[in-house]
Structure 1
Amino acid sequence: MTTTDLPEREGNAGLPSRIERPWWRDAVVYQIYPRSFADSDGDGLGDIPGIRQRLAHVVDLGVDAIWLSPFYPSPLLDGGYDVADPRDVDPRLGTVEDLRGLVQDCHANGLKIFVDVVPNHFSWAHRWFRETAGAAIDSPEWARFHAVRGRGENGEIEPNDWRSAFGGPAWTPVDGHAGWWYLHLFDSSQPDVNWDNPEVHADFVQTLRFWFDIGVDGFRIDVAHGLVKAPGYPDEDKPEDGHAQVLAGAIADSPHWDQPGVHDIWREWRRVADEYSPDRAFVGEAWVATPEAQAAYTRPGELHTTFNFHFLKTWWEADKLREVIGLSLLSSAAVGAPCTWVLSNHDVWRPVTRLAPWLDATTIDLETGKRRALAMSLVSLALPGSAYLYQGEELGLPEVLDIPDEQRQDPTFFRTHGEVKGRDGCRVPLPWSGDASPYGFSTGTPHLPQPDGWGPFTAEAQKADPGSTFSLYKRALAVRKGLESLGDGEMRWIDAGHSDIVAFERPGDRPVTVFLAMGGSDRIVAVDGEILVESGGVTRQADGMLHLPPASAVWLA
């Protein structure tokens, strides 16, 4: 085998040691979708007291931080991302004091805590949008949003061809003002705010300070590639609908995604974060066209990190995976930022199902999907930078594909008239214990139905099994935390002698080599080293050769 460095390095060589560098460069962050994590009061909806009761699970897993999806007051027309008040807690989920207590619990257990901020839009239940009722179209109230005259003789045609990311048009008529329309790049219940208005800037800075002062360590920024719209609202002239654009990443040269002016906002926010000590951090959700465009969000003075969705979207193919890892690392290193690896979240199919091959039009091979997901998890946790896990990933949960239509909640389902089933399948409440729903999640009926047969997936069952998915994640995270060579730093590619094996080395005082077998056949590799963690079936043969079954990964010291 041979090792190869790309021009000067892949990753960030020469960094201070892990204890000396900022925490966010290495952190493994566990995403909590509050309404589906743990319910303390039996109403079927997860809440902040429930998170506090179950926080020991996250501590036991061994991550460095948590990220909370929105817990703000909301009509729940988009899973809480339709925020009615960004400086309060939905009373169904608790109080600001409960959130303050969770921050204290996290810090007492050595965890950092991110919370969501949603700057592209508000809920139509937000005070600002309610104040537009009866206001003149040229009023200060409407100046907070995008109210635009329609086309046609009387403005009866939408102002342009922009499409909602959830399907359908991105414009809805303004009540009481014939010929005028308001913009919503998502659901009609989520009017976009107008970032040309200084009042919007000031309000969001107030929100950042409110939660920073309570003690949160950072923000995950929803739709970080949105916010700024091209002057004059020009047509997009794209054949794809808005939903397809989001799934594929923002289309280059879009008049409403990834506009240059958005970077001015992130520089403004970074100045706010830099006022606080210890370090506060931002992670951006930026669905952009290329890794280079993504890295632009983490230039000095802008966001600290952004999710690497190019990695998430890469199919099970060795050449493509090597390409996206290499380009991502080089692009991030060019701006001095770490990569942030992610395989799942509340918006995409769970990797066990997403990576599974379909045997025919109706049958999916979840066993292979599970092996692939575990192997990819070991790769993501071994690459330079930080990594994110989504609740249930550590339990190996599959996507729930058969939610009855009448129980679905995702606005995408409704706006596409059922053509797109939406994201409810990855938001089903977690199974904690027992053999039947609600599996310890609640004493009531969960807000989304849990499948039968999830007993083996429960946290209780898996913690008792040293061969479980949870045990693998816990073991990998402990090894990662204990080795200086893992986390942020250098990486070198290794030629393992097989084109379907992705292999790399993390150099250091105790180097770690990583092998991922992506082909359909067993592979034998001549390599020394102690097996630290393996995803299933990786063994040493009697002759000392390393045996890699299909869809397996291993870390070697």
Structure 2
Amino acid sequence: MVANAGDSGCRTIGLLRRVRAVTLPAASPDRRTVVSDDLWWRSAVIYQVYVRSFSDANGDGTGDLAGVRGRLGYLKQLGVDALWFNPWYPSPLADGGYDVSDYRSIHPSFGTLGEAEALIQDALALGIRTIIDVVPNHVSDQHPWFQAALAAGPGSPERERFWFRPGRGIDGNEPPTRWPSNFAGDTWTRTVNPDGTPGEWYLHLFTPEQPDLNWTHPDVHREHEEILKFWFDRGVAGVRIDSAALLVKDETLPEVPQNPAPGEHPNTDRDELHDIYRSWRAIADSYEGTRVLVGEIWLPDVDRFARYLRPDELHTAFNFDFLARAWNAAELRESIDITLTAHAPVGAPSTWVLSNHDVTRPVTRYGREDTTFAFATKRADTPTDLTVGFRRSRAAALITAALPGSLYIYQGDELGLPEVEDIPVTLRQDPMHFRSLGVDPGRDGCRVPLPWSGDDAPFGFSPDSAQVPPWLPQPAEWRGLTAEAQQADPSSMLRLYQSALRIRSDDPDLGDGRFAWLPGAADVLIFSRGERFLLIANLAAEPIALPDHEYVLLTSEPLVDRLLPSDSTAWLQVSAGANENSDRAHHPA
């Protein structure tokens, strides 16, 4: 519940980022809307749109771009600065669109290129930018390049764009390496020659439908640079780079060492990657306004991680450490410290995210005994207390929204949706589930279509006249979690997010900027932002007293006898000078 003595607790403190829509010439011949503010990305609230599950305008059971355009008012009211779209390109959907067959078009189930361009401009008119996904590590096995490679045969120039190799052992029956897969199973698939005999093997760190590209080939470099220009010319404000640390492989194809030293892993975090991103940054910087490069980088070595964020490479990278941590004050504090420390030397802002299309939703994850995100905690038969998970996810939302840097929100988290764990096997589509022989429940449970309104499925996701059900079934219990129902409830998760993002936008102490820890009990997080903002999060078992403050801005749960309950967070306005006694401060470079 929002405990702020009515709307007066969310009073405007001063506009931090005034965005202004102006018309400027773009790189393409026509003139396009550009939202001013070159540093927008350092503090942006970015909303992740999984198009297939966001909103279905034509009633075919699949979300589409027209559905997103129809909900732009909702996103504006929520308070987001940008939309990040998962791949919206033509694809066989062997891996939810991350198997791309054409980067210069739109999947016909989602709409047309013209609709994408209109969506980009409609969003910009509301002050909302667009970030798209690029998947440079691999393409679909239906991509023209790969089809040409299969047809051309061994030793052909077409095959040099991929990793085709003869097998090892007798008759080449063994794969070239034993590299582990990100999706379980093998990382090499053997082809069949035109005469029916076994042929070469090709590399795929993910599914066989996603052959890896060979980034030593100039065609691969040139193609992706042209893809960036294609979308930047259409007004896109940035790209999120999928599997950004995996592109380059050691050409000698050695096995993965037991404990690889920095830069020694044969297919991850290779030093040659940095030249690729320098060339991409030069392209981004050649456009009007800031076009950002956001890397999906999973690396345990913070020094190696930070190298990708040097001023001439990526602007930001996803920080997954926080979402992988247990619901424990010491763990979360350590994660915050590690993240801020890693970013400080290169002057890049941190990013904060509680979930995405690949991980268990926070309401479910935080309701389990083991609240970390790991394989074992994904299993659908894990005992879960959704009441506890819901309360903790509200508290976590306020923690991440108050941290310095940019904030990512995965669609549906603002509604407090839980993971859907009872999807029939016949309807599951995620390859992680099938390649693990059913042991891993996969990621379909966090991709169920959103509930918008009404008491029965499809809950406004599709028009009332739709004859086709949503592509994944929605639980009947979601009738109380629709956006419509929550908008009418001042204590709802949606209203909490709206209030938090409004305060974040208005308060000059939030977003990118100063941060300092304040002394507190072991199970409590207390930090300040700037002169007058203070956050306190109670992860202890018992309620605690609030520190001295002028008034309460927002709380994730109602105060009880003026005490902050367990698993709750409060945002406080304090008097000028009250934040000076900190035990550690972080300042942006």
Deviations 1:273-326 (A, max 9, x none): 000011110111111113333222111101000110011111111111111101
C-alpha distance in 2 between matches for 1:238 and 1:406: 39
What CA distance in whole angstroms lies between the structure 2 residues aligned with 1:82 and 1:187? Answer: 9
Displacement after TM superposition at 1:21 (Å): 5.8
Counterpart for residue 569 of structure 2: 553
Counterpart Cα distance in 1 of 2:368 and 2:354: 17
TM-score between the two structures when normalised by the length of structure 1: 0.91
Q: For 1:334-349, what aligned pairs fall within 5 Å after superposition?
A: 334-349=345-360
- Whole-angstrom distance in 2 between the partners of 1:281 and 1:540: 46
- The question of whether the paired residues in 2 share the 8 Å contact of 1:48 and 1:99 is answered with yes
What residue number does 1:512 align with?
533
Alignment pair present for 1:254 and 2:265:
yes
Shift of 1:419: 1.1
Aligned equivalents of 2:41, 2:382: Cα separation in 1 = 42
Alpha-carbon distance in 1 for matches of 2:59, 2:224:
34
Stretch deviating more after TM superposition (41-50 or 285-294): 285-294
Amino acid in structure 2 at the alignment position of 1:223: S
Which residue of structure 1 lines up, in the alignment, with residue 170 of structure 2? 153
What does the per-residue CA deviation read over 1:27-78, in whole Å, with 9 as the maximum and x for residues that have no partner?
Answer: 0000000000011111111111111111111111011111111110010111
Work out whether 1:465 is the aligned partner of 2:482. Answer: no
Displacement of 1:18 in angstroms is: 5.1
1:29 aligned to 2:52?
no
* Partner of residue 502, structure 1: 525
- Partner secondary structure for residue 160 of structure 1: coil
The residue aligned with 1:526 is 547
**Is the Cα–Cα contact under 8 Å of residues 521 and 550 in structure 1 kept in the other structure?**
yes
Distance 2:285 2:131 in 1: 16
Identical amino acids, percent of aligned pairs: 48
Residue of structure 2 aligned with 1:325, choices 332, 336, 345: 336
- Could you tell me how far 1:254 is from its partner in structure 2? 2.9
The correspondence for 1:395, drawn from 405, 411, 415, is: 415
Would you say the 8 A contact 1:291–1:310 is kept in 2? Answer: no
Contact 1:538 1:554 in 2 (8 A): no
* One-letter amino acid of the structure 2 residue matched with residue 152 of structure 1: G
Are residues 368 and 251 of structure 1, via their aligned partners in 2, closer, same or farther at CA, if it must alter by over 3 Å?
farther
Distance across 1 between alignment mates of 2:156 and 2:220: 15
Distance 2:522 2:263 in 1: 32
Amino acid aligned to 2:274: H
2:4 maps to none
Q: Distance in 2 between matches of 1:91 and 1:237?
A: 43
Residues 348-357 or 20-29, more deviating: 20-29
Q: C-alpha separation between the residues in 2 aligned to 1:290 and 1:21?
A: 30
Moved more, 352-361 or 301-310: 352-361
CA deviation after TM superposition for structure 1 residue 539, in Å = 5.4
Cα distance in 1 for residues equivalent to 2:382 and 2:154:
51
Where do residues 199-238 of structure 1 align in structure 2 (5 Å cutoff)? 199-237=219-257
Q: Deviations over 1:418-437 (max 9, x none)?
A: 11111000000000111121
CA–CA distance in structure 1, aligned partners of residues 198 and 258 of structure 2: 28
Show the counterpart of 2:218: 198
Cα contact 1:435–1:453 (8 A) shared by 2: no
Aligned to 2:34: none
Matched letter for residue 346 of structure 2: V
1:338-378 CA-to-partner distances (Å, cap 9, x unmatched) read 00111110000001111112499753111111111111111
- How far 1:154 moved relative to its partner? 2.2
Unpaired runs of at least 5, structure 1:
1-16, 240-249, 542-546
Paired residues of 2:263 and 2:271 also in contact (CA < 8 A):
no
Deviations 1:61-108 (A, max 9, x none): 011111111110010111111101011101111000000000011111
TM-score by length of 2: 0.86
- The alpha-carbon distance between structure 1 residues 327 and 362, as it changes in their structure 2 partners (threshold 3 A), is closer
CA distance in 2, matches of 1:502, 1:540: 21
* 8 Å contact from structure 1 (residues 283, 303) kept in 2: yes
Size of the alignment, in residue pairs? 523
Q: CA deviation at 1:526?
A: 3.4
